[in-house]
Every structure is written in C-alpha cells, then in structure tokens.
Structure 1
Amino acid sequence: MRCGVDPPRPHRHRLARKCDTGAERVRGVVAERVWIKSRQGDAGSDGATGEGAWRLDAGGRWTLDAADAATAALDAIQLAKSASAVRFGLAGLEALDTVGACLLMGLADRLTAEGRKVTVLDARPEHAALIDAVRGAGKAAVKIVAPSHHPIIDMIAGIGEDSIAAGKEALDLIGFLGLVTITFARLLLHPSRLRVTSVFYHIQQTGLNALPILGLLSFLIGVVLAFQGADQLKRFGAELYVVNLLGVSVLREIGILMTAIIVAGRSGSAFTAQIGTMKVNQEVDAIGTMGLDPIELLVVPRAIALMVSLPLLAFYADIMGLFGGAVMSYATLNITFGQFILQLHTAVGIGTVMAGLIKAPVFALVIAMVGCYEGLKVSGSAESVGTLTTKSVVEGIFLVIVIDALFSVLFSVLGV
C-alpha cells in the first residue's frame, strides 16, 4: 500500500487529505483533540470489496471536554452511497467516556439505519465494556405487558395477596407481643429497671386527659339508649324495663367498647405518632446505640399505663352512661333517680359489671401493642408516620371489636 497520511496535529480545526492510490482513497477529519478518518477499499471479513467496502478509524480523546469538536468531526464524515460494509476501528482512542461512547455509537447506529453493515474493531477491553454498557442503556426500555387476565380473577388475586399480607402482619404482631412479654418478665426480675416516672406520665396522658371527652360521649350514649329504649317499651307498657336494657347494655358492652374505641383513636394513634417521629429522627437508633432497650424504654411503660388507666376509664364510662340514661328516664318517663337505682340493682349484679371490666386489660394491651408496633415500623419520612398512624387506629379498633365478639361467645358458653 502506498499511501501516507500524516498523524493529525492537535488544535487544527479541520484537515482533509486525499491520496489516490488506485482503488484506495483516504479522507481524514481532525477536530481539536479528536480525529476520525475514512478510507475506501478495506474489505476485511465482510465480503464487500471495491466501492462497497469502507474503513473508519477514530482516535484521540473522546470525552466530554471535546464533545463539540467530536460532533463536528462526525458530521463531516461522508461515505459513498455504494458503501455497504463499514469497519469501525477504535485502536487510536486515547480516552473515552460515556459522552464519547454515545457519539461513536450514534454514528454506528446511523450507518446501520442507512442499511450498511457496521463492524467495530480493535477497541480496548475497557473501551469495549463502556461502549457495550452505553449501547445497552440506550436500548433498555420498559416492557409494558397488556393485562391478559379477567378483572374478576385480578380482584380475587388481589384479595388473596391482601389476605397473605394480613396474615404476615398478624404473625409479626404476635412476635412483637412475645418480645414485649419477655421484656416485661425481665422487668419483674429487676423492678428497678422500670421507668416509673414514664408510667405515671402516660397514665396521665391516656387516663386523666381522656376523662372530659369520654364522659361527654358516654353520657350522650346513655341518653340515646334510654330515649330509644323508652320509645319502644312504651308500646308494651314496660317503660320501667328501660333501666334493665340500659344497665345490661352499658355495663356489659357499650361502656367498655366505647372506651376502647376512644382510647384506640386517641392514645393508640398518639403512641404511633410519638414513636414514629422518634424513628424518623433516629432517636430510637440512638437509644439502641447507648445500650438501652427501646422496648423496655418506650413500649413497656405505655402498655402498663394503658392497662392501668383503661379499666378505670371503662368504669367511669359506665357511670356516665348510666347517669345519662337516668336523666333521660326522668325527663321522658318520670322515673326518679331512686327508682332508677333500685331497678338497676334488681336488673344487674356484680357479674354483669365484671363481665365488662374484665375485657379492659385485654383491650388495653392490644391497643398499646398495635400503637407501639406500628410506630416502630415507621421509616424514612413524615408520610410514613401519617400512614402508619392511620393504620394503627384502624387495626386497633378492628381488633377491639373482634376480641369483644370472642368474649361475648365465651361468656355465652360459660353462662356468664
């Protein structure tokens, strides 16, 4: 081959040389620190010869700094329309980054789109790996699969997935209850480790501070029950038995259930929000780093406080509910307070009162466990705090109603 092409000199904006050697012509384009040249007549293994075979060679530093110059060099490349096979040599590359790889592969893709067969040659291993990565990233696309299932099948599948998730959540909650039980047993062996100040603080927050709202709602519930019961019993001339209806319903079910629901919405959500905020601020992690047990420090005091305050709140709600019923009975049926108390003593006994109050510690434990468990699950952001606080309230009320139903069945079987 008798053709000499001088190596491109830097900082020359463009250089074009031609050297006719029979079947071979060479064109070179130099732009700042990058260069690319083309020549005709290199068949290689493509099988194309003569006018159909072309060779491209790129060299220099194909990096972000030379992007404009590289683009200009690529735009200046012209191949004959008869060029069917192009061999793209990269042996002259001194440096290559993702920008240079994108530009070179853009040229290769453009030639391929024009119907030419492009073969990349002589690339260094690191350059070849980068080019493959860039090419793969450029071709990566999200495959959208059209739904092929029936909507009813999808709905059933969704219900199944939600059921499995609920089952896993229940198992995790049971495991958390076991962890709290072990921690509580350890505190029984070492009572000095119990945060008594924290317990009394949470008794005040969950108990004393809940008296106004709980008393008002219980009073109004008693008023409504007495009014509705009296309206129905008047038809049978059994107005006095509204006291029986009120006593049994309030003492066995309404009082404790109303108390548990209010506490779940008020204190359960507060537990989740407080502990969740500590999680977001990494205070719980700091407690563990200091060698303290977050369960012992955060969960057990809240659980003990709620187990103490909820039975007292339930008894208070029973009294306020009966008082509201007595006021309405006097206003609508002229039943005096003395008659009301006498009839109430005849209708209900201590077993009826205890049937309601015995549920209180169980409800308190469930509400505290759910609130603290969801709080410890918080991660990442304030949005997580809000989401899990809502979830805590819903789960707490749901479990309270389910357990109350189980108690009703158990009491019916035992004849209580």
Structure 2
Amino acid sequence: MDSIGTASFAEESNTIVASGDWTLDHLNALSALCKTLRRGIGTQVSVDASAVGRMDTAGASILLELVDDDPARVKVDSEAVRKLIAAVAKAENAPPAAPPKRDTGFLSSVANVGASLEEFWNNAVELIGFVGLILSAFGRTVFRPGTWRLTSTIAHIEQTGLNALPIVGLLCFLVGAVVAFLGATVLKEFGASIYTVELVGYSFLREFGVLLTAIMVAGRSGSAFTAQIGSMKAREEVDAIRTLGLEPVDVLVMPRVLALLVSMPILTLVGMLAGLIGGAAVCVFALDVSPTMFIVRLHETTTVRHFWVGMSKAPIFAFLIAAIGCLEGFKVSGSAESVGSHTTSSVVQSIFVVILIDALAAIFFMEIDL
C-alpha cells in the first residue's frame, strides 16, 4: 500500500530527511510540504532520500526544488533512483530549444514549389487508383442486381439533383442574362446586335451550361460527399462496415457515383435552358427582339451538335466530382479539423479538374471541327 511521502528538516546537519512514496498520486500533498519546508530552511541544504520508497518523475521534480535542481545535493542508496533524479534535473536545467530558422529566400521558394508539385502528383496518382477501384466495383456489381443499393442511390439523386435544381437554374439564368447584355453592348457598336442570340446559344450549349453546373455540383455535392464519408471515418463507421464483411466502396461510393451520373445531365439540361431563357429575357427587353424571333434565330443558326458537345461532358464531370469527393472523405484522419481541410481540398480539386478537362475538351472538339 502506498504511503504518502514526508520530509523533516534536521537543523544540526542542514539536511532534509525524506521518506515514504514520492509519486504523482501524492503530488498536491508533496507540493504543499515542499513550500512549507522552503520557508523554514536556508540555502545549500541537502536532502537524504535513502528512506524514500517509490519515486517517479513528479516526485523527483518536487524533491529537486528543495535543492535548487542540484542532484549532487541529494543522497540516495538506489542506483535507479539516482539515475531518475539525474535525468529529471537534466531535463529541467536544459536550455529551451531555439526556434528553427525559417528560410524565406530563393531556396525556400523552390522547395515550396517542389513540395506543391509532389503533392499534386501524389493526388493525381491516388485519384487514378481510386477511379480504377470504382470501375472494378462497378464491374463486380453491375451483373448482380441483388447487390444494387437502390434506396441509397435514389436518396442521393434527390440530394444532388432535385434539391440542386433551383440554385443551378437561378445561377445559369443570371449568367445567361449577363452574357447577353455584355454581348449586346459590344455587338451594338458594329450594328450586329442580333448575333447576341448565337452568342448565348453557343456559349451555354457548349460551355457555360455544363461548366457552371459542374462547379455548383462540386461545391455543393462534392463537399457533401467528403463531409459525410469523413464524418463516418472519424466515428469509425467505415471500419465497422469492413468488420461486417462489406466493401466501403460498394456501400458508400457506388450509390453516390451513380446518383451523380444520373443527376448531372439533368442539371446540365436545366442549366442550358435557364441560360437561354436569361439571354432571351435580355434580348426581349433590351434589344427589341421578340421571343418568337429569338427562338427562330436560335433554331436557324444553332445546330444540335452544340447541345451534344455540352451534354457529352456532363457524365465525365459527374464521375470525377464524385470520385474526388469520396476519395477526400476516405483521407480524413479522425478530427473535425481534418474533415474541414479535406472538404476544402475536395472542392478545390474538383473545380480545378473540371476546368482542366473542359479546356482540353474544347481544344479537342475544335481540332476535330465539331
């Protein structure tokens, strides 16, 4: 059974005699005892700790306070206790570590660029591997209808598609109006205001409709995927899924990917129509172009191939946004801060990849004259 450490001052020998257990369990009592003794003793006292039973680092630290952190003035019989007191004294007397010098020069800038490129490369490799994992899971389950998670997929279609229709429609309507207004302002100088119809039609059918929709989906649904899976990872629910003998990719990723593959083309179509309506509103109220004239002009000058060029990019964007969002969710380490940082990373990466793929697609379609 532990006995609380005690100490008494022998004035004739200028020595403090310590006994009992000097451990963390009795820290408060030992601290009070130390303060009491220091008020009644002078300097250069020594401590006889031969009768001390058990001692840990907390007790050694309090004992050293009586001798001003000088282990040479502590008498002990046990070699282990002597080494313990010496180690505690060394740690307490060690000078504070100097803060590392931060290089802010040219080499630091080059190092930061290299670190960023390495991180970009690692993220790209991880994304490619995760895409392969998703395709493998799709091939494993596509011919096994019993493994399809229709309830989860439909719920995600509602969250990513139906609930996003108002914001996507409003955004594309406003951008369509802005594009038409700016185009009309410039073309008016050349007496070609009527070509605003072609400008709005081409821009929204080929680019703006799918691009604006993808950016909105990346910020809304991609971040939600990361936060949902990241929270499950933090609560160890992903490990529980594996414990049940299920694959997290089949349970968590596939329903989200399939839902976004269904929702994204529908949202893109709504975005295209909203953008055209926004452009038509500006043409009607600012250019004296009737709705009938706008529709006839759009029908005569804009072919259906522009529509298919824009729609062909929607499934690609949907797959990449869902893959990035789920991958970043699986990277969460377990804290709330990690969930927030990976959610931010998910949005940034998704928007970057969407714009990059859109630029490459625009060059490709231009080269093949489509």
| Residues 5-44 of structure 1 aligned to structure 2 (within 5 Å) | 27=13, 29=15, 31=17, 34=18
Change (3 A) 1:293 1:16: same
1:267 lines up with 2:221 in the alignment: yes
Indicate if the aligned counterparts of 1:29 and 1:76 stay in contact, CA closer than 8 A.
Answer: no
SS of residue in 2 equivalent to 1:216:
helix
Equivalent position amino acid for 2:245 in 1 = G
RMSD over aligned Cα atoms? 3.2
Q: For residues 282-308 of structure 1, give each alpha carbon's deviation from its aligned partner in whole angstroms, at most 9, with x where no partner exists.
A: 322222222221111111111011011
Change (3 A) 1:251 1:111: closer
1:300 lines up with 2:254 in the alignment: yes
Equivalent position amino acid for 2:220 in 1 = R
Indicate if the aligned counterparts of 1:89 and 1:123 stay in contact, CA closer than 8 A.
Answer: no
Which residue is 1:378 aligned to?
332
Larger Rg: 1
Equivalent position amino acid for 1:410 in 2 = F
Among candidates 233, 246, 270, match of residue 187 of structure 2: 233
Change (3 A) 1:191 1:140: farther
Q: For the residues of structure 1 that align with 2:330 and 2:219, how far apart are their CA atoms?
A: 18
Equivalent position amino acid for 2:214 in 1 = A
Change (3 A) 1:13 1:332: closer
Q: Which stretch shifts more, 140-149 or 283-292?
A: 140-149
Change (3 A) 1:98 1:366: same
Q: TM-score normalized by structure 1?
A: 0.76
SS of residue in 1 equivalent to 2:98:
coil
Which residue is 1:102 aligned to?
61
SS of residue in 2 equivalent to 1:358:
helix
Which residue is 1:401 aligned to?
355
Q: For the residues of structure 1 that align with 2:235 and 2:54, how far apart are their CA atoms?
A: 46
Question: What is the CA distance between 1:327 and its match in structure 2?
Answer: 2.3
Change (3 A) 1:74 1:254: same
Which residue is 1:367 aligned to?
321
| Residues 9-408 of structure 1 aligned to structure 2 (within 5 Å) | 27=13, 29=15, 31=17, 34=18, 60-61=19-20, 63-64=22-23, 67=30, 68=33, 72=37, 94-102=53-61, 105=64, 118=72, 123-145=77-99, 147=101, 149-408=103-362
Change (3 A) 1:102 1:179: same
Q: TM-score normalized by structure 2?
A: 0.85
Percent of matched pairs sharing the same residue = 42
Question: What is the CA distance between 1:96 and its match in structure 2?
Answer: 3.2
Q: For the residues of structure 1 that align with 2:328 and 2:307, how far apart are their CA atoms?
A: 33
Q: For the residues of structure 1 that align with 2:309 and 2:10, how far apart are their CA atoms?
A: 100
Q: For the residues of structure 2 that align with 1:193 and 1:339, how far apart are their CA atoms?
A: 52
Q: For the residues of structure 1 that align with 2:234 and 2:7, how far apart are their CA atoms?
A: 59
Equivalent position amino acid for 1:174 in 2 = I
* Structure having the larger proportion of residues in helix: 2
Q: For residues 251-288 of structure 1, give each alpha carbon's deviation from its aligned partner in whole angstroms, at most 9, with x where no partner exists.
A: 11111111111111111122122222222333222222
Segments of structure 1 that go 5 or more residues without pairing to the other structure are 1-10, 18-26, 35-59, 81-85, 113-117
Question: What is the CA distance between 1:138 and its match in structure 2?
Answer: 1.8
Question: What is the CA distance between 1:361 and its match in structure 2?
Answer: 0.5
SS of residue in 2 equivalent to 1:275:
helix
Indicate if the aligned counterparts of 1:269 and 1:389 stay in contact, CA closer than 8 A.
Answer: yes
Change (3 A) 1:149 1:78: closer
Q: Which stretch shifts more, 118-127 or 238-247?
A: 118-127
Indicate if the aligned counterparts of 1:239 and 1:333 stay in contact, CA closer than 8 A.
Answer: yes
Segments of structure 2 that go 5 or more residues without pairing to the other structure are 1-5
Equivalent position amino acid for 2:341 in 1 = T
Which residue is 1:56 aligned to?
none
Equivalent position amino acid for 1:247 in 2 = G
Count of residues paired in the alignment: 360
Change (3 A) 1:69 1:132: closer
Indicate if the aligned counterparts of 2:9 and 2:16 stay in contact, CA closer than 8 A.
Answer: yes
